[in-house]
Amino acid sequence: MARFVNIFFFSLLAALTGMTVLGGQIFDGDGSDEAGFVPPPPRKEAPPPPANISGGETYIPYPPPPAMPASRSEKKNPPKPPTMFTKLTSRYGELDWNARPNDLNNLLKALKESANVDYEFEAKSFAEIDEDPDQNPILYRSGHYHWSLNPRERAKLRNYLLRGGTILLNAGMGSKPFFDSAVKVMNEVFPEAPVQPLAHDHPIFHSTPGIDLDRVRYRPGVRSVYKGDAPVFFGVTIDCRTCVIISRFGMEVGWDPLDDDNILAYEQESAQKLGLSILNYATAMRNWSLDNLKKTRYEDARQVSDAASMKIAQVQYDGEWKTRHLGLSVLLQQYNQTTGVPVKFASLDIKLTDPRLFDSQVLYMTGHEAFTLKPEEINALRSYLEGGGILIAEACCGRKAFDDSFRAAMAKVLPGTNFASMRPGSALFKTPFEINLMQVTPACARYYNNRKAIRAELLVLNVEGNPAVIYSPIGMAGAWELSPNPWSKSYLSGDALKLGCNILLFASTR
């Protein structure tokens, strides 16, 4: 009997080893037979359990679990570092979720050596994850095979992310089945905010002082599918915070080094810098988001009618079209309080091809990332503007990717017209508030020779001599919500609300 057990054990071990080396199937529909599948590397030894990194002071503290009281005679252990990453396990075994067992361990060691910041990580199943992000601030899942969540797990993940958590999904060695499934899952979690490419000006790539990662170094194998040198990340951004980060190419083999130039991965130095920048971004935005969760939504008063009120329709396009959920309602409340004009707080989200477009008094458009308008959308917006409608737009957080796309789109909507700066003496800057210099965020000040206050920068496109498009390349929506994020190139809240009120009054009376 014992001999039979031993034979069975070694036969199973040999099968698993062969599976690891050849990248065989580990479950039905795992993607191992699909184009772009990259098998996990051979395992030379059993992986160590998740290691804790001891002692130290954190950059942005997360409370550690409560310590059990010790008796007087018991020797006390040093304080346990707070958990930063939680590695998501899989019921299909470590081949599925832990192909590079020392990836997070080495990344956190590098963080401690470079910044004297001390965190630990742990490994948990999804069922063990706490929906309170303080308990597991960043979830991490790297893999080569398909990844999926059932409806209950998707709902749990959505709640966790909306409460300030972050999930980092890494395509192991650039394995496409994992990447494709990660995008699919996150589109199911946030159907209203589909996964988008992150442009090179995203704060993730500039969150570490003195390090800009809009250009990185890849291993030669990447050139078979990608010729550029920008990092290829995708994400979901909710209220100006990117809570889902998906890396198309492998970072884990840069953290837990693997000497193979043919794999689809970042070079070691770039991978390490990207990992540290993601950590910096996620921790800073987690602290910021705690305040953002407390905002109040203004609701319509019963006596407000559609006919007698200021109402705004927000343009819905393919891309990240709703960057803030409360900004317009806060602005409209301020406008109503200042002017006495009745307002409709409930904004209408509308596609440019919707026939109701021409019933809208004012359109509002914003975004962070690059986008394009379809030909039918361009034609509809042209008809709206030439018919006397007005579009108010802003680059949320002052993001250049949106700015470039918006200017390109308007060149197609109104060909032959050029943006002109709104003159300082314009009536827009006079009523209801006298606007001179505008205070700006520190991130914005750096673009204006560190000036803390600048003249309002508004651009206009005219149709038959009348302003049809009023555009701010400097962010306002986050400031309307009284909380521009740490990397926002934005006006400060008080001045942004004043400028917004002036724009609304100008648009309604021109």
Q: What is the DSSP string of 361-393?
A: SEEEEEESS-----HHHHHHHHHHHHTT--EEE
Over residues 250-260, the mean pLDDT reads 96
Residue 503 CA to residue 328 CA, distance in Å, equals 13
- Using omega within 30 degrees of 0 as the cis cutoff, is the peptide bond preceding 78 cis? no
Over residues 260-271, the mean pLDDT reads 96
20 or 107, which is more confident: 107
CATH of domain 29-64+80-292: 3.40.50.12140
Q: Which residue intervals of 190-267 are DSSP H helices?
A: 252-255
pLDDT of residue 64 exceeding 50, the answer is: no
What is the band of 78 on the pLDDT scale with cuts at 50, 70, 90?
low
pLDDT of residue 359 exceeding 70, the answer is: yes
Residue-wise pLDDT for 394-403, tens only, equals 999 999 999 9
Predicted confidence at residue 55, as pLDDT, reads 38
Residue 474 CA to residue 186 CA, distance in Å, equals 30
Over residues 366-387, the mean pLDDT reads 97
What is the band of 12 on the pLDDT scale with cuts at 50, 70, 90?
very low
Ranges for all domains in the chain classified under CATH 3.40.50.12140: 29-64+80-292, 312-509
Q: Give me the half-sphere count of Cα atoms (radius 13 Å) on the Cβ side of residue 303.
A: 2
Are 204 and 242 within 8 A, CB to CB? yes
Over residues 412-427, the mean pLDDT reads 94
Predicted confidence at residue 344, as pLDDT, reads 77
Mean pLDDT check: name the lowest of 75-79, 166-170, 432-436, 494-498: 75-79
What is the band of 281 on the pLDDT scale with cuts at 50, 70, 90?
very high
CATH of domain 312-509: 3.40.50.12140
Cα 302-305-306 angle, rounded to 5 deg = 135
Residue 86 DSSP SS3 = strand
pLDDT of residue 137 exceeding 50, the answer is: yes
Predicted confidence at residue 164, as pLDDT, reads 93
Residue-wise pLDDT for 472-508, tens only, equals 999 999 999 988 999 999 999 999 999 999 999 999 8
Instruction: Give pTM, 2 decimals.
Output: 0.85
Predicted confidence at residue 48, as pLDDT, reads 57
Predicted confidence at residue 403, as pLDDT, reads 98
Question: How high is the mean pLDDT of the chain?
Answer: 87
With residue 91 as reference, give the H or E element that holds it. none
382 or 287, which is more confident: 382
How many beta carbons lie within 10 A of that of residue 407, not counting itself? 15
Predicted confidence at residue 295, as pLDDT, reads 57
Residue 274 CA to residue 194 CA, distance in Å, equals 23
- Determine what percent of the chain is predicted with pLDDT higher than 70: 84
Over residues 23-31, the mean pLDDT reads 89
Give the strands of the sheet with 466-472, arranged side by side. Answer: 348-351, 312-316, 362-367, 391-395, 466-472, 459-463, 420-421
Predicted confidence at residue 292, as pLDDT, reads 66
Give me Rg for the CA atoms of the chain: 26
Over residues 255-283, the mean pLDDT reads 95
